[in-house]
């Protein structure tokens, strides 16, 4: 049985509607190894169609094509891939070398697709190039070679996987007379190794060097002339270490993508720079939000004990059903129950805000919160225009009054915490009184404060000056010890229940968990915590909005990457055809283009992170010089997020061009100029 058998082979091309053009008509042909066959005919006779079918580039036909006993009509994509890798090699008239690859890389391309290790493929390619007289040219690019050298590189690429069949399409069509003879000598030598060599040609000179000439006209074989035999030399151009074909690896695809990107370096740098702008913008916005949050947290922590959580009763809600009806009041308990106004204690006068007192049930519930080591009772009220420190006949207003339970001494500027008969005042009040805060220490003043609706006055000595810092919710304040407060209320026959509780945690790391549990039970935290939470939420919204606006540039960069990769597909159409002809799978081609988009995304992300880092460093230097604080905090998580986001967006943008490249018809791709 012949190595290649064609039986009743027909090929139809659809023209329009139900009409078809028949390019091949009942072709019957048998070909064996060791033959050098020329297929000749006029343009349009069907010889190129026959070549494409024999080469497995076109799989749509009727009849039979049998290669080494295997019927091509039963081939699946995997079978065609293996056929191109193991059985057949192509030599094209226009060489079809990949311009951005070196001679060595062009020759090893087929082995790269077959996942042959680097050492083996380089050794084998150098061996073939040496036998073809190109051993000293392997580092050059195709543009640096003559026509004859290019064709010899194409022949080396066809031979390197040691195929059984070589198909040469007009192998001397682009060569001068002298170079033509050299190439034909090489082709004859290839046939002498026992391979089946098929040349498609118009040239009588080429046909004369063949052992067999098959003439085709109007899709039919009209002539088959044998012109002699070739003496076989088994060792000539023998390829050592022929390996079982595998598939292109991800890292090999990355390398091919890098080589192509290097060829278009300036364009790819601009693409990466464009993509990096969006990544940089988002990271800077996130860093700004994180930095401001950190600043708020640090400021708050500097003014409170990190072990202490402040707890207040739920807010009292007032309702007014009609203009003439009495105002009614409903108090929301932690459990959500409503207490009628009649059973609630009378509230303070207008301008005074104070929390409701805690009951025993509330205290027990708070004591049972996990990680609470201690429960301290305290009192606090907030007034507007009614409370004053009186010194030498002058009144100095303050808004916040309370006991020192739960406070930290980290912000005491001068003096110490108050004992019985002493008070602690904030720096602003002290400055108004004495010109400087330190001079206010030890002075006796009268405190006029409204407690439970009653205005109380008593003389106290200033023991310390407290800095409220720049924390949210910081007001001019006066504090006294719990013992002093009990004495004050007892002297005025008042029974005032504690309206603030300070829960002390067993570890600073558990403080936030305690605060979360307090909120879950329906109680309130400190006003500073509430304001900080509100401000943080607003800041988060602001950050997300700005990040979203910055993210528009990511969408633009994705469109840019998609467009550039589509252009790349058009530019490399012929290269894609070559890859398919030498055994590249659709998956391999997709992988190469997706690898390019991955690398673009990776470079964009790294560049964006680098620019963002530079902006945060410079920005913090400027802000620290102006405000003595840093507000840009770029975390490693933001950097990773930026790079990953850039890679994902780029790869998604590259999927459509990659799919288009993988779906190209190899015959049409090879014809592309």
Domain annotation covers residue 97: yes
Instruction: Report pLDDT for 556.
Output: 83
**Between the CA of residue 447 and those of 377, 380, 458, what are the distances in Å?**
22, 15, 6
Based on the domain organization, do 519 and 420 belong to the same domain? Answer: yes
Q: What percent of the chain has pLDDT over 90?
A: 33
Number of domains in the chain: 3
Strand partners of residue 480: 403, 423
What is the distance, to the nearest Å, from the Cα of residue 176 to the centroid of all Cα atoms in its chain? 53
Mean pLDDT calculated for residue range 279-295: 86
Calpha distance 591→46 (Å, rounded): 34
Query: Can you give the pLDDT at residue 474?
Result: 59
Same domain, 474 and 571: no
73 compared with 326, residue with greater pLDDT: 73
Is 273:553 a contact under the CB 8 Å cutoff? no
User: Does the pLDDT at position 241 exceed 60?
Assistant: no
Q: Residue 323 pLDDT more than 50?
A: no
434 and 287 within one domain: no
Looking at the structure, tell me whether residues 397 and 512 fall in a common domain: yes
Beta-strand relationship, 165-169 and 88-91: parallel
Whether residues 340 and 480 fall in one domain: yes
The residue assigned the tokens 């159409």 is: 573
Confidence (pLDDT) at 211: 92
**9 in a domain, yes or no?**
yes
Asked, for residue 259, whether it belongs to a domain, the answer is no
Do 349 and 233 have their domain in common?
A: no
The pLDDT of residue 145 is above 80: yes
Domain boundary among 481, 503, 524: 524
- Return the higher-pLDDT residue of 441 and 407: 441
Asked if residue 222 belongs to a domain, the reply is yes
Contacts 24+ apart (CB under 8 A), 404-407: 404/479, 404/480, 404/481, 404/482, 405/376, 405/377, 405/378, 405/482, 405/500, 405/502, 406/304, 406/305, 406/308, 406/310, 406/376, 406/378, 406/500, 406/502, 406/504, 407/304, 407/305, 407/479
Is 252 among the domain residues?
A: no
What's the predicted TM-score (pTM) here? 0.69
User: What is the structure's pLDDT at 630?
Assistant: 83
Quick: pLDDT tens for 325-362.
343 333 333 433 333 333 334 444 444 455 678 888 88
Domain boundary among 524, 551, 573: 524
Q: Is residue 257 part of a domain?
A: no
Q: Tell me: pLDDT of 276 over 80.
A: yes
Q: Which domain holds residue 166?
A: 4-246
Distances (CA, A) of 25 to 21, 43, 545: 11, 16, 68
pLDDT at 303: 59
Last residue within a domain, chosen from 480, 497, 524: 524
Residues 414, 466 within the same domain: yes
597 pLDDT more than 70: yes
What is the per-residue pLDDT for 337?
37
Both 514 and 641 in one domain: the answer is no
Check whether 472 has a pLDDT greater than 60: no
Instruction: Tell whether 412 and 458 lie within a shared domain.
Output: yes
pLDDT the model gives residue 607: 95
Q: Is residue 667 part of a domain?
A: yes
CATH of the domain at 181: 3.40.50.300
Q: To the nearest whole percent, how much of the chain has pLDDT over 70?
A: 88
pLDDT in tens, 22-34: 999 999 999 999 8
Do 552 and 595 belong together in one domain? yes
Confidence of residue 245 (pLDDT cuts 50, 70, 90): low
pLDDT digits (tens, 9 = 90+) for 160-205: 888 999 999 888 887 888 888 888 888 888 888 889 999 998 888 8
Are residue 205 and residue 290 in the same domain, yes or no?
no
Predicted pLDDT at 275: 85
pLDDT digits (tens, 9 = 90+) for 548-585: 777 787 788 888 888 888 888 888 888 899 999 988 88
What is the predicted pLDDT for the residue at 560?
84
Which pLDDT tens digit goes with each residue over 363-374? 889 999 999 998
pLDDT at 234: 57
> Would residue 255 count as lying in a domain?
no
Give the pLDDT score at 238: 52
Mean pLDDT of 592-602: 91
The secondary structure of residue 410, as a DSSP letter, is G
- Answer yes or no: do 336 and 379 share one domain: yes
Q: Which residue has the higher pLDDT, 37 or 552?
A: 37
At 304, the pLDDT band (50, 70, 90 cuts) reads low
């Amino acid at each position: 049985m012949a190595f290649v058998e064609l039986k009743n082979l027909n090929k139809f091309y659809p023209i329009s509607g139900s009409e078809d053009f028949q390019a091949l008509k009942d072709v019957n042909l048998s070909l064996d190894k060791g033959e050098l066959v020329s297929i000749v005919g006029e343009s349009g006779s069907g010889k190129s169609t026959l070549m494409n079918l024999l080469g497995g580039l076109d799989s749509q036909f009727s009849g039979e094509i049998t290669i080494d006993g295997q019927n091509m009509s039963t081939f699946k994509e995997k079978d065609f891939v293996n056929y191109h890798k193991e059985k057949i090699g192509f030599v094209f008239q226009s060489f079809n070398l990949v311009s951005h690859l070196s001679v060595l890389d062009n020759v090893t391309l087929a082995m790269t697709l077959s996942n042959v290790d680097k050492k083996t493929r380089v050794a084998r390619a150098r061996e073939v190039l040496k036998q073809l007289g190109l051993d000293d040219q392997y580092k050059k690019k195709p543009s640096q070679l003559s026509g004859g050298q290019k064709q010899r590189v194409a022949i080396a690429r066809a031979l390197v996987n040691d195929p059984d069949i070589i198909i040469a399409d007009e192998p001397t069509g682009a060569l001068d007379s002298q170079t033509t003879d050299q190439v034909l000598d090489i082709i004859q030598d290839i046939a002498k190794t026992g391979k089946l060599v098929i040349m498609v040609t118009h040239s009588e000179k080429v046909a004369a060097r063949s052992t067999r000439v098959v003439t085709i006209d109007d899709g039919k074989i009209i002539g088959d002339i044998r012109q002699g035999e070739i003496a076989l030399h088994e060792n000539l151009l023998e390829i050592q270490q022929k390996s079982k074909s595998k598939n292109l690896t991800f890292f090999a695809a990355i390398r091919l993508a890098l080589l192509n990107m290097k060829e278009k370096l300036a364009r790819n740098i601009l693409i990466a720079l464009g993509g990096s702008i969006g990544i940089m913008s988002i990271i800077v916005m996130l860093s700004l939000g994180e930095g401001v949050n950190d600043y708020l947290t640090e400021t708050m922590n500097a003014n409170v004990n990190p072990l202490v959580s402040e707890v207040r009763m739920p807010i009292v809600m007032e309702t007014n059903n009609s203009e003439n009806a009495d105002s009614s009041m409903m108090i929301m308990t932690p459990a959500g129950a409503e207490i009628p106004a009649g059973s609630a204690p009378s509230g303070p006068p207008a301008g005074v805000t104070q929390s409701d007192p805690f009951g025993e049930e509330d205290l027990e519930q708070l004591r049972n919160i996990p990680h609470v080591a201690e429960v301290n009772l305290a009192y606090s009220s907030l007034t507007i225009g009614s409370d004053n420190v009186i010194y030498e006949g002058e009144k100095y207003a303050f808004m916040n009054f309370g006991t020192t339970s739960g406070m930290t001494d980290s912000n005491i500027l001068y003096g110490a915490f108050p004992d019985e008969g002493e008070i602690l005042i904030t720096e602003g009040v002290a400055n108004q009184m004495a010109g400087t805060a330190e001079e206010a220490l030890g002075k006796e003043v009268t405190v006029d404060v409204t407690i439970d609706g009653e205005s109380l006055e008593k003389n106290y000595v200033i023991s310390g000056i407290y800095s409220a810092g720049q924390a949210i919710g910081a007001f001019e304040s006066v504090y006294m010890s719990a013992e002093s407060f009990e004495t004050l209320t007892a002297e005025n026959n008042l029974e005032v229940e504690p309206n603030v509780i300070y829960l002390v945690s067993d570890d600073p790391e558990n403080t936030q968990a305690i605060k979360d549990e307090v909120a879950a039970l329906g109680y309130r935290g400190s006003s500073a915590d509430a304001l900080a939470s509100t401000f943080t939420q607003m800041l988060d919204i602001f950050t997300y909005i700005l990040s979203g606006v910055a993210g528009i540039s990511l969408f633009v960069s994705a469109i840019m990457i998609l467009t550039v990769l589509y252009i790349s597909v058009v530019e490399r159409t012929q290269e894609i055809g070559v890859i398919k002809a030498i055994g590249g799978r659709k998956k391999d081609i997709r992988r190469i283009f997706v690898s390019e988009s991955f690398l673009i995304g990776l470079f964009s992300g790294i560049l964006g992170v680098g620019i963002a880092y530079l902006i945060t460093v410079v920005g913090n230097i400027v802000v620290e010089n102006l405000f003595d604080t840093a507000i840009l905090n770029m975390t490693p998580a933001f950097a990773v997020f930026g790079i990953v986001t850039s890679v994902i967006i780029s790869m998604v943008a590259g999927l459509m061009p990659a799919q288009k490249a993988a779906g190209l018809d190899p015959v049409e791709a090879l014809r592309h100029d």
